[in-house]
């Protein structure tokens, strides 16, 4: 069964984008892929963009579609292929501070919730089949519009409390508890809600949730998520800036200069299922460079075979690569001697879109054939001190 996991976060919400990065990285660790969408600037109802995604044609073809809130993490287990999975969790009802046109509208809404809705549902997880997704989206939008018609002004609020009508109309059940860990609003502290699809609110509530999660479900869940060293890998640093700065982070276009065995490229291609990557490396094997062993090219071929429809291999030196389109980013991890670093940066800057970024590796790291500050000197020759240092010895600059 072909599955499509997807999420979204608006460009102006740095916190949501950070959480989305953690979700995407945890999915990479769990061997899953999540399609990330950033609502277009002219999107009026950004909080209901998930409805547009379900109803539209932006999602790739699949047998089942799983929407995940970005404030979540993926675990390794969970039989998502099961036909019994539908999604949506129940939780304690909450007030949404709706302003009705009049008392009659309020009474009508209360009557609707009692007769045409199940208990209030959170849309942190929505699981539908390919045949159901448009029907679910259209019914969802109908109830959003219906409720808004009763209000003095459009609520511009989250769509969670409209989803209970959809659950009632289409008889959508709860996602089974055995999937992943998802602490929710219980009646008492430490009580868990009905859906266990993923673990939410980690950065904000780690101290409160985690002890209860381990007590109730046990540590055997193999939690995939942020740790103290969560950012300390270059591909996750790159992923963060793709989410922030790529013109279209659903289908980013980038280049990696100095591919080696393809480990970095493999993670990025896994994290972003729509990524197109130009892979530039001569794969010349020099004795003084310990990281150019012949077997690295063989390893790279295994990566290339796995993602061949999204990789453009260019077996040449950096400044000989002729990329025919503008790029969202370029990652430089090639010759680390200062003149070569400077030359690579100057060559690739014109090939990057305005607002995109250039990023490199091994800042202040001493290798076998270059000094500890050679990469820094090359970067400073172009940007002076106007660049940023990030974890895993990376440096970057937005253009």
- Cβ neighbourhood burial of 283 (10 Å; 0-12, 13-18, 19+): middle
Instruction: Tell me how far CA of residue 37 lies from CA of 33, 50, 198, 258, in angstroms.
Output: 13, 9, 19, 29
Say which residues have a Cβ less than 8 Å from residue 305's Cβ, sequence separation at least 6.
none
Say which residues have a Cβ less than 8 Å from residue 247's Cβ, sequence separation at least 6.
328, 353, 355, 356
Q: Extract the tokens encoding 109.
A: 């809404």
Residue 61 carries which DSSP code?
P
The answer to whether residues 279 and 311 touch, using CB atoms and an 8 Å cutoff, is yes
Q: Residue 242 and residue 144: Cα distance in Å, rounded?
A: 32
Residues in the chain: 399
Question: b/e per residue, 112-133, with b = 16+ CB within 10 A?
Answer: bbeeebbebbbbbbbbbbeebb
Q: For position 267, what pLDDT does the model report?
A: 92
The answer to whether residues 43 and 72 touch, using CB atoms and an 8 Å cutoff, is no
> How many Cα neighbours within 13 Å face the side chain of 36?
35
Count of helix runs (H) and strand runs (E) in the chain: 11, 12
Q: 3-221: what CATH class? A: alpha beta
Q: For position 201, what pLDDT does the model report?
A: 44
Q: For position 320, what pLDDT does the model report?
A: 95
Q: Residue 250 and residue 336: Cα distance in Å, rounded?
A: 31
Residue 166: how many other CB atoms lie within 10 Å = 27
CA 394 to chain centre: 20
Task: Tell me the Cα Rg of the chain.
Answer: 24
CATH 3.90.550 residue ranges for the chain: 3-221
The answer to whether residues 284 and 308 touch, using CB atoms and an 8 Å cutoff, is no
Beta-strand ranges (E) seen in 9-100 are 34-37, 64-68, 87-90
Q: Residue 67 and residue 127: Cα distance in Å, rounded?
A: 6
What are the φ and ψ backbone dihedral angles of 276, each rounded to 5 degrees? -105, 125
Say which residues have a Cβ less than 8 Å from residue 59's Cβ, sequence separation at least 6.
4, 6, 35, 53, 65, 133
Q: For position 189, what pLDDT does the model report?
A: 40
CATH 3.40.50.150 residue ranges for the chain: 234-398
Say which residues have a Cβ less than 8 Å from residue 217's Cβ, sequence separation at least 6.
181, 192, 196
CATH superfamily ID and name for 234-398: Vaccinia Virus protein VP39 (3.40.50.150)
Q: Extract the tokens encoding 296.
A: 């690295």
Q: Extract the tokens encoding 19.
A: 């959480």
CA neighbor of 260 nearest in space, from 230, 222, 286, 221: 286
Instruction: Tell me how far CA of residue 110 lies from CA of 27, 106, 139, 150, 274, in angstroms.
Output: 40, 6, 19, 11, 44
DSSP per position, 168-179: HHHT--PPPTTS
Q: Give Dmax over CA atoms of the chain in angstroms.
A: 83
pLDDT digit string (tens) for the chain, length 399 residues: 899 999 998 866 566 787 788 778 878 877 788 999 998 888 878 888 999 999 999 999 999 998 888 767 665 556 677 776 676 665 555 556 778 999 999 999 889 988 888 766 666 778 889 999 999 999 999 999 998 899 888 766 667 778 888 888 988 877 665 554 444 444 444 444 333 334 444 444 455 445 544 544 444 444 434 433 345 688 888 998 999 899 999 999 999 999 988 999 999 999 999 999 999 999 886 655 555 566 788 889 999 999 999 999 999 999 999 999 999 999 999 989 999 999 999 999 999 999 999 999 999 887 767 778 899 999 999 999 999 998 888 999 999
Residue 362: how many other CB atoms lie within 10 Å = 22
- In terms of phi and psi (left: phi > 0; alpha: psi -120 to 50; beta: otherwise), the region of 392 is left
SS3 259: coil
């Amino acid at each position: 069964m072909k599955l499509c996991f997807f999420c979204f976060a608006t460009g102006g919400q740095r916190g949501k984008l950070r959480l989305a990065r953690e979700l995407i990285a945890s999915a990479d660790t769990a061997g899953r892929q999540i399609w990330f969408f950033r609502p277009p600037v002219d999107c009026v109802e950004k909080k209901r963009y998930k409805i547009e995604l379900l109803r539209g044609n932006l999602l790739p073809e699949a047998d089942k579609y799983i929407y995940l809130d970005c404030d979540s993490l993926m675990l390794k287990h969970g039989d998502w292929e099961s036909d019994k999975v539908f999604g949506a969790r129940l939780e304690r009802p909450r007030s949404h501070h709706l302003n009705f046109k009049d008392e009659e509208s309020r009474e009508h809404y209360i009557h609707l919730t009692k007769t045409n809705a199940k208990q209030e549902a959170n849309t942190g997880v929505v699981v539908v089949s390919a045949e159901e997704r448009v029907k679910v989206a259209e019914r969802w939008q109908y109830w959003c519009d219906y409720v808004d018609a009763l209000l003095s002004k459009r609520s511009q609020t989250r769509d969670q409390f409209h989803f209970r009508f959809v659950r009632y109309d289409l008889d959508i059940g709860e996602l089974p508890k055995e999937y992943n860990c998802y602490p929710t609003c219980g009646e008492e502290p430490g009580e868990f809600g009905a859906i266990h699809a993923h673990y939410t609110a980690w950065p904000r509530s780690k101290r409160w949730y985690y002890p209860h999660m381990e007590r109730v479900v046990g540590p055997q869940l193999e939690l995939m998520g942020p740790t103290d060293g969560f950012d300390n890998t270059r591909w996750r640093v790159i992923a963060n800036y793709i989410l922030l700065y790529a013109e279209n982070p659903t289908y980013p276009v980038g280049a990696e200069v100095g591919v080696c065995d393809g480990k970095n490229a493999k993670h990025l291609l896994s994290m972003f299922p729509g990524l197109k990557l130009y892979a530039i490396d001569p794969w010349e094997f020099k004795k003084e460079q310990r990281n150019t062993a012949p077997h690295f090219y063989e390893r790279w071929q295994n990566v290339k075979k796995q993602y061949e429809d999204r990789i453009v291999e260019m077996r040449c030196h950096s400044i000989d690569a002729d990329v025919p389109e503008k790029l969202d980013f370029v990652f430089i991890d090639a010759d680390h001697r200062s003149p070569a670093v400077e030359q690579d940066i100057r060559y690739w800057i014109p090939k990057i879109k305005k607002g995109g970024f250039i990023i490199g590796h091994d800042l202040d790291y001493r290798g076998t054939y270059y000094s500890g500050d050679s990469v820094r000197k090359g970067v400073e020759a172009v940007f002076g001190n106007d660049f940023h240092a990030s974890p895993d010895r990376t440096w970057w600059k937005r253009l």
